[in-house]
Amino acid sequence: MAAAPPECLSASDIWPRTRFGSKRQGTRQEAQSRLADIIDRLEKLLRENEIDPNQRNLLGRAYLIRGNLDYLKDVRSDAYDWYKKSFDLTPGAYSQLSMAQCKDNAAARAKGFGDGLVLLKRGPLRKTETYTKITALAWAVVATREMASSAEYQDFVQQLREANALAQPVGERTPLFFCPDTKLLVTFDTLKKNLKV
């Protein structure tokens, strides 16, 4: 199989090479550098009106990941700007919810989480694939917690607990899931612990 042209690389191409979720500073800097290169190439295609729908989605994801890197450095204003770029290019639940996390004003946070929850219900929460479903449930727990929506919160906590059966290791591989609060990949037990469920 021929290698994809450089402009077709996805933001996830940095994952195996840089250990994005690592707590070691050097690997985060390497991830940021590789991601900047991917963003530059995809933005060039966007400016030249040569970007296809898949590349457009990849650019939106790259912006989201770039925001996560700033979030990990606790530079929330920069993270917010990247999340906003992601949402403006490819509106979705995860960029909306991530923007809400960066807001200081409680009312603005609650509104952002409410808007994100609506998007979750329209898309990711309807998915059946394990990783996608658990990621969506984790975000739903965070959103309803932030909105102080106790009935929905309890429902999503229960659904997340029931997903334990889906999150079991396969062979020697332990599945990892995205934690909205830490922006890291974690085991299912660590995800529940971080979310306090």
- Could you tell me which of 176, 178, 171, 174 has the C-alpha nearest to residue 195? 178
DSSP H stretches of helix in the chain: 15-18, 25-47, 53-72, 76-89, 93-101, 106-122, 130-147, 150-162, 188-195
Same domain, 96 and 185: yes
Taking only the tens place, the pLDDT of each residue in 40-70 is 999 999 999 999 999 999 999 999 999 999 9
Q: What count of other Cβ atoms lies within 10 Å of the Cβ of residue 35?
A: 21
In percent, the amount of the chain with pLDDT more than 70 equals 87
Domain count, the chain: 2
What is the model's pTM? 0.84
Q: Buried b / exposed e across 83-121, counting CB within 10 Å, b at 16+?
A: bbbbbebbebbbbbbbbbbbbeeeeebbebbbbbbebbe
Same domain, 114 and 193: yes
Same domain, 19 and 50: yes
β partners of residue 186? 177
Average pLDDT, the chain: 88
- Could you tell me which of 110, 122, 76, 116 has the C-alpha nearest to residue 95? 116
Quote the domain boundaries for residue 77.
1-89
Domain-terminating residue out of 89, 115, 146: 89
Same domain, 42 and 112: no
Same domain, 102 and 179: yes
Domain-terminating residue out of 66, 89, 112: 89
Same domain, 79 and 99: no
Contact call for residues 55 and 38 (beta carbons, < 8 A):
no
Distance of CA 158 to the CA centre of its chain: 22
Domain-terminating residue out of 55, 89, 123: 89
Same domain, 147 and 62: no
Same domain, 95 and 185: yes
- For residues 76-100, give the mean pLDDT: 97
Same domain, 96 and 54: no
Same domain, 194 and 105: yes
CA gap 184, 176 in Å, rounded = 9
Residue 11 has a pLDDT of: 41
Same domain, 50 and 123: no
Same domain, 81 and 100: no
Q: In terms of C-beta density within 10 A (0-12 exposed, 13-18 middle, 19 or more buried), how is residue 129 classed?
A: exposed
